[in-house]
């Protein structure tokens, strides 16, 4: 019996060897991953011992940590509430942070390499290093206006977004998505409360947690005509060139006629490009798109920022909030050739064309800024925990040049005409030159249309001060006019109280 | 009977067989090791207080001293009743038990309100209760040593114990869930606020029966293997008992919803069959039956659900615990995170966050301790377990009768298997099942059963290391029939 007993001893050693090897795997190889896991409450306890930095805009603190008596020392609160929820995100005890709380976590938490000197100093003095502060570009007034106007829109739309940027720098002045949510319960130290608050929001059919300004892609409707017009201007068509129009256009191979919003728009055989933009002539742009071809359209859209998948809005040169890619979609037949019907519908921003509100604002901003599209950003400055040292000041940079200065000037004239004489009259601001383009996009066959407006404001010297995009989802008839009105209000607020640059 | 003052030097000069080293009881080595272990336990307690309370209270040594007194008592009992028992067993077990009490007390400190922490009564909380259980368990173990002066004497009760074992195993399964189910596993018998795990005792009782049964059956099996020389697999009718135990363990798996216990019983049985028969084919048959059965339960759990659903769910959690980190996978995920957070060196005694772990006083105590003592500390704990197991196997090698060999070998292997099942479970090596961690987990049933197991090992090792001709002199030899018929190839005492 001794031989099998010895073998049993070997088996035991093998079993314990397996245990030992597996513990090595967990406690050595995977240790860092587990130590910093989002599910690991220890990270939280250690993290909450340290005062997290503020997030501020225009001197107002929007996210602050308050001392409590609990096991987790500091409670994250959001005095800005729902208004800033999609920009700031929230920092839950369990699970992942979102928004800038996530993107700027290292600096806010005080673990960033940039704060190494502070940490070393505090190691000597025995203090716990507080986190650094993040200053935003937002204009508090523009943000307030955008949030209030969106929520109180006269179309009764419950979903929508607005974003305003400074065309000259790319600094975001306002960024709002409705419906929004109160981030405070999500940051509660009572994790059951936080979880139930999250579950309620997560299950909400209106998806309040979604940042529609950056993450929602919708058919852009007639706002896309600016891109088509830019392509036309670069292909030998001038503002005053007559283009074919008409009250109805049935593209070859398609049984479905494209008509204008009302019969009074461009019923004549030909209108100028200027007139076609001003009145938002569908037949004219459908024919124009078919004439230009899918490659020209797609390339122009790409130059304006369509198809970009890796854009983030946060700190320049660093990560930030992710932006969904805008798409022009397929305009081809199943056999690979161009489908004129798809091309015609895409030319008026329907079919498979999809755009984020940010992309709309960036088109307007590029036009307003002489053809130069600046990279959008939200973080103006990083401030040391003691608020004396500035670590990082945003240095605006050009993202791309979608159009030349001349084409931009022509587009600007046409967009100004839209607000002065055409469909965007609601956006006018006294003392400023406002340009824009409305859009009404079919959503689903039996659902109301989306209302869009993209636009910009120039001061009396012709210098751009704000570019904006407003979308009211399923707002129905009159949605784009209401969007134009809200856009005007937001730009007015941004002019009255510019955000930081 | 009088205590030899210096047992190590007590053997009479006469009567030693040439070639056999003079037998030494090594009781003083046991005493030194025991005191060293208790010093470690006291130091652990002080470190915990320094970390959790920011100060070491004047009474930090009281639990360690109480434990020391208890274990010293056991040491004295061994000195009198089993003077040649293995000297490493008691100190190793005492160290684990003491660290377990220390860690449970550390949990009490963490749970208590800050102002109450400094004056936590010695028997308060789960740590204090564990201390009391330790006292009771050690008294039981001493009692068993006193009653069972020869391990062969319990073979007389083999059938009684076998029956009792089966009853104990099946008891929670047949009782209503309100009495027997805790955390999804039907392993308990709850009477009021008091609950016992009959399975812990069943494994001891069953092993005695297995050992007795197999020693008798072994003769038949040996004959059979001669008759069928060259044929790898046993006769069909010899498969009977294996199939019965296999069926019982699958019933346990299904009705008590517990893979670990099932694996434990079956592994225990297969190991003893293998030791008894020396036929690898039994091992293969056993493994195929068990894994086949487990796989079948998994497939049935997926397809049919019902009684197999729990096992299927556990297997799913094991495959990807992070799929549902807050729901089904919560325990395992938190265990892994605790172990990972401990890393190589751990957060130090008292420096971790064990209260984040569910069931940290039971199933997950190894993870909770691991967070604080790190990979190095856990490796040391594993080595101590390994030491106990190998000492048990050594006792099996040394003892001369087949029953003793099977009993000690089986018990040692069972202990190893239990450690493997629970530590492997919490570290995602195998699907997690509710098993206690021997000597560490809070709970009287487990502690008592494992101390009884150690008492048996002590008894067998005493028999094995005792000089053949009674050279121990002053120690009375148990007067049993010289059942050394199968012990022909057995080594006597080799270093």
Superfamily of domain A215-377+397-496: DD-peptidase/beta-lactamase superfamily (3.40.710.10)
Residue B6 has pLDDT above 50, yes or no: no
Q: What letter does residue A327 receive in the DSSP assignment?
A: B
B102 near B122, Cβ under 8 Å?
Answer: no
Q: What is the pLDDT of residue B16?
A: 40
**What's the CA gap between B120 and B282, in Å, rounded?**
53
When mean pLDDT is compared over A392-396, B45-49, B89-93, B402-406, the highest value belongs to B89-93
Looking at the predicted structure, is the pLDDT value of residue A150 above 70? Answer: yes
Once rounded to an integer, what is the mean pLDDT over residues B196-213?
A: 86
A2 in B contact zone (CB under 8 Å): yes
Range of the domain at B159: 154-319
**Which residues in chain A are contacts of B333 at CB distance < 8 A?**
39
Q: Is the pLDDT of residue B481 over 90?
A: no
Q: What separation, in Å, do the N-terminal and C-terminal C-alpha atoms of chain A show? A: 85
- Which residues, in sequence order, are CB contacts of A200 under 8 Å at separation 6+? none
Of B375, B409, B429, the CB nearest to A27: B375
Residues 6+ apart with CB under 8 A from B359: B183, B331
Classify each residue of A365-391 as buried b or exposed e, where b means 16 or more C-beta atoms within 10 Å of its C-beta. Answer: bbbbbbbbbbbbbbbbbbbbbeeeeee
The vertex-B49 CA angle with B47 and B54, nearest 5°, equals: 105
**What's the pLDDT score for residue B454?**
96
B238 has pLDDT over 70: no
Poorest-pLDDT segment among A237-251, A302-316, B388-402: A237-251
Q: Using a CB–CB cutoff of 8 Å, tell me whether B380 touches chain A.
A: no
Please compute the mean of the pLDDT values over residues A83-98 and round it to a whole number.
Answer: 89
**Residue positions of A annotated with a catalytic role:** 222
CB contacts, 8 Å: A9 with chain B? 390, 393
Tally of domains within chain B: 1
Can you tell me which residue has the tokens 């083999």? B158
Q: Does A30 touch chain B (CB under 8 A)?
A: yes
Is there a domain that residue B263 lies in? yes
pLDDT category, B223, cuts 50, 70, 90? low
A18 touches chain B (CB under 8 A): yes
Distances (CA, A) of B449 to A312, B74, B203, B415: 62, 16, 9, 11
The residue of chain A with its CA nearest to that of B414 is A12
Residue B341 in contact with partner chain A when CB distance is under 8 A: yes
Among B221, B222, B287, B337, the residue to mutate for chain A (most A Cβ within 10 A):
B337
Cβ distance B326 to A195 less than 8 Å, yes or no, reads: yes
Residue B110 resides in a domain: no
The stretch A227-252 carries a mean pLDDT of 90
A94: chain B residues, CB-CB within 8 Å = 326
List chain A residues with CB under 8 Å of B431: none
With CA atoms as reference, the chain A residue closest to B403 would be A1
B145/B289: higher pLDDT: B145
> Is B39 part of a structural domain of the chain?
no
- The residue-averaged pLDDT of A8-32 equals 93
CA distance A27 to chain B (A): 4
Task: Quick: pLDDT tens for A341-388.
Answer: 888 889 999 889 999 999 999 999 999 999 999 999 999 999 888 888
- Whether chain A has a CB inside 8 Å of the CB on B425: the answer is no
Widest pairwise Cα distance in chain A: 107
Give yes or no for a contact between A164 and A365, defined as CB atoms under 8 angstroms apart.
no
Q: How far is CA B310 from CA A6, B80, B183, in A?
A: 37, 49, 11
A42 to chain B, any CB pair closer than 8 A? The answer is yes
Helices and strands per DSSP (H, E), number in chain B:
15, 4
Interchain contact, B353 vs A15, CB within 8 Å: no
The 10s digit of each residue's pLDDT in B428-471 is 998 887 788 999 999 889 999 999 999 999 999 999 988 876 44
- Rounded Cα gap, residues A370 and A462, in angstroms: 10
Q: What is the ipTM of this complex?
A: 0.87
Q: Which residue of A has its CA nearest to B397?
A: A2
Contact A18 B343 (CB under 8 A): no
For residue B215, which residues of chain A lie inside 8 Å, CB to CB? Answer: none
pLDDT digits (tens, 9 = 90+) for A410-466: 999 999 999 998 888 898 998 999 999 999 998 777 889 999 999 999 999 989 999
> Do β-strands A133-136 and A55-57 pair in parallel, antiparallel, or remain unpaired?
parallel
* B494 belongs to a structural domain: no
State residue B22's pLDDT score: 52
Quote the tokens at residue B63: 């639990």
* pLDDT tens for each residue of B287-316: 887 788 788 878 888 887 776 777 788 888
- pTM flag (> 0.90): no
Torsion of CA B277, B281, B282, B284, to 10 degrees: 150
Cβ of residue B120 closer than 8 Å to a chain A Cβ? no
Q: Do B339 and A23 lie within an 8 Å CB cutoff? A: yes
Q: Quick one: how far is CA A230 from the chain centroid?
A: 23
pLDDT band (50, 70, 90) for residue B235? low
User: Length of chain B in residues, anyone?
Assistant: 495
Using the Cβ of B111 and the Cβ atoms of chain A, whether some distance falls under 8 Å is answered with: no
User: Which residue has 């179309």 as its token pair?
Assistant: A155
Query: Is A35's CB within 8 Å of B325's CB?
Result: no
At B476, phi and psi to the nearest 5? -75, 135
Hey, where are the domains in chain A?
Answer: 215-377+397-496
From CA A108, how far away is CA A61, in angstroms rounded?
13
């Amino acid at each position: 019996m001794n031989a099998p007993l010895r073998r049993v001893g070997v088996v035991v050693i093998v079993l314990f060897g397996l245990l030992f090897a597996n513990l090595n795997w967990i406690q050595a190889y995977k240790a860092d991953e587990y130590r910093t896991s989002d599910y690991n409450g220890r990270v939280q306890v250690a993290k909450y011992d340290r005062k997290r930095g503020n997030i501020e805009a225009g001197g107002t603190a929007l996210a602050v940590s308050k001392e409590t008596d609990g096991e987790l020392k500091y409670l994250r609160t959001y005095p800005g509430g729902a208004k800033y929820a999609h920009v700031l995100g929230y920092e839950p005890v369990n699970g992942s942070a979102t928004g800038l709380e996530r993107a700027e976590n290292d600096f806010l938490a005080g673990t960033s390499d940039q704060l190494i000197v502070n940490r070393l100093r505090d190691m000597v003095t025995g203090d716990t290093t507080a986190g650094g502060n993040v200053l935003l570009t937002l204009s508090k007034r523009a943000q307030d206006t955008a949030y209030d106007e969106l929520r109180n829109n006269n179309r009764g739309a419950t979903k929508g977004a607005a974003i305003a940027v400074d065309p000259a720098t790319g600094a975001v002045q306002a960024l709002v998505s409705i419906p929004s949510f109160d981030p405070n319960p999500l940051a509660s130290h009572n994790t059951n409360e936080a979880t139930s608050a999250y579950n309620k929001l997560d299950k909400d059919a209106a998806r309040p947690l979604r940042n529609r300004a950056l993450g929602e892609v919708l058919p852009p409707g007639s706002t896309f005509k600016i891109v088509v017009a830019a392509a036309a201007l670069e292909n030998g068509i001038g503002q005053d060139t007559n283009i074919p129009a008409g009250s109805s256009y049935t593209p070859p191979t398609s049984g479905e006629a494209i008509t204008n919003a009302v019969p009074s728009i461009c019923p004549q055989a030909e209108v100028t490009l200027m007139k076609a933009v001003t009145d938002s002539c569908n037949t004219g742009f459908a024919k124009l798109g078919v004439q230009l071809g899918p490659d020209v359209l797609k390339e122009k859209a790409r130059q304006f920022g369509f198809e970009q998948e890796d854009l983030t809005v946060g700190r320049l040169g660093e990560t930030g909030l992710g932006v969904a890619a805008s798409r022009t979609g397929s305009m081809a037949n199943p056999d690979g050739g161009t489908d004129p019907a798809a091309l015609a519908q895409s030319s008026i921003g329907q079919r498979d064309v999809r755009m984020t509100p940010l992309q709309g604002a960036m088109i307007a901003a590029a036009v307003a800024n002489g053809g130069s599209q600046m990279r959008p950003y939200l973080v103006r400055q990083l401030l040391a925990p003691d608020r004396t040292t500035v670590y990082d000041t945003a240095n605006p940079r050009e993202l791309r040049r979608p159009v030349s200065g001349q084409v931009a000037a022509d587009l600007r004239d046409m967009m100004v005409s839209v607000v002065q004489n055409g469909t965007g009259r609601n956006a006018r601001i006294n003392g400023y030159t406002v340009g824009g383009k409305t859009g009404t996009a079919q959503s689903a066959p039996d659902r109301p249309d989306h209302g869009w407006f993209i636009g910009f404001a120039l001061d009396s010297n012709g210098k751009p001060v704000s570019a904006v995009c407003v979308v009211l989802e399923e707002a129905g008839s009159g949605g784009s006019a209401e969007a134009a009105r809200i856009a005007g209000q937001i730009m007015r607020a941004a002019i009255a109280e510019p955000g930081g640059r | 009977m009088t205590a030899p003052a210096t047992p190590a030097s007590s053997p009479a000069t006469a009567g030693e067989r040439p070639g056999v080293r003079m037998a030494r009881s090594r009781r003083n080595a046991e005493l030194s090791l025991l005191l060293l272990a208790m010093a470690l336990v006291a130091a652990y307690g002080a470190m915990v207080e320094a970390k959790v309370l920011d100060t070491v209270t004047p009474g930090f040594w009281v639990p360690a001293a109480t434990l020391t007194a208890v274990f010293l008592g056991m040491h004295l009992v061994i000195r009198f009743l089993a003077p040649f028992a293995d000297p490493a067993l008691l100190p190793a077990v005492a160290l684990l038990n003491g660290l377990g009490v220390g860690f449970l007390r550390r949990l009490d400190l963490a749970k208590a309100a800050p102002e109450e922490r400094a004056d936590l009564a010695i028997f308060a909380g789960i740590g204090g209760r564990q201390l009391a259980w330790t006292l009771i368990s050690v008294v039981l173990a001493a009692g068993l040593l006193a009653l069972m002066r020869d391990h062969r004497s319990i073979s007389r009760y083999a059938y009684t114990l076998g029956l009792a074992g089966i009853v104990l195993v099946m008891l929670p399964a047949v009782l209503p869930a309100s009495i027997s189910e805790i955390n999804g596993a039907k392993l308990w018998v709850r009477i009021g606020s008091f609950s016992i795990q009959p399975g812990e005792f069943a494994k001891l009782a069953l092993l005695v029966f297995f050992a007795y049964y197999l020693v008798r059956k072994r003769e038949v099996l040996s004959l059979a293997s001669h008759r069928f020389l060259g044929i790898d697999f046993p006769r069909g009718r010899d498969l009977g008992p294996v199939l019965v135990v296999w069926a019982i363990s699958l019933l346990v798996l299904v009705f008590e919803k517990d893979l670990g216990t099932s694996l434990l019983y079956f592994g225990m049985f297969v190991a003893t069959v293998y030791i008894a028969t020396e036929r690898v084919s039994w091992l293969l048959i056993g493994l195929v039956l068990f894994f086949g059965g487990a796989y079948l339960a998994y497939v049935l759990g997926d397809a049919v659900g019902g009684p197999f659903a729990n096992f299927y769910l556990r297997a799913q959690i094991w495959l990807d615990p992070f799929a549902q980190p807050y729901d089904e996978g919560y325990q395992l995920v938190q265990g892994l995170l605790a172990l990972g957070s401990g890393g190589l060196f751990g957060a130090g005694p008292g420096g971790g966050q064990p209260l984040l772990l569910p069931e940290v006083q039971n199933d997950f105590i190894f993870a909770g301790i691991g967070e604080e003592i790190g990979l190095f500390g856990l490796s040391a704990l594993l080595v101590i377990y390994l030491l106990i197991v190998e000492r048990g196997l050594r006792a099996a090698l040394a003892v001369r009768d087949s029953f003793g060999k099977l009993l000690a070998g089986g018990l040692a292997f069972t202990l190893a298997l239990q450690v493997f099942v629970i530590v492997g479970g919490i570290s995602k090596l195998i699907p997690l099942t509710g098993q206690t961690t021997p000597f560490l987990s809070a709970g009287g049933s487990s502690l008592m059963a494992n101390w009884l197991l150690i008492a048996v090992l002590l008894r067998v090792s005493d028999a094995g290391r005792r000089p053949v001709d009674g050279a121990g002199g002053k120690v009375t030899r148990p007067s049993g029939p010289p059942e050394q018929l199968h012990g022909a190839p057995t080594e006597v005492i080799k270093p």
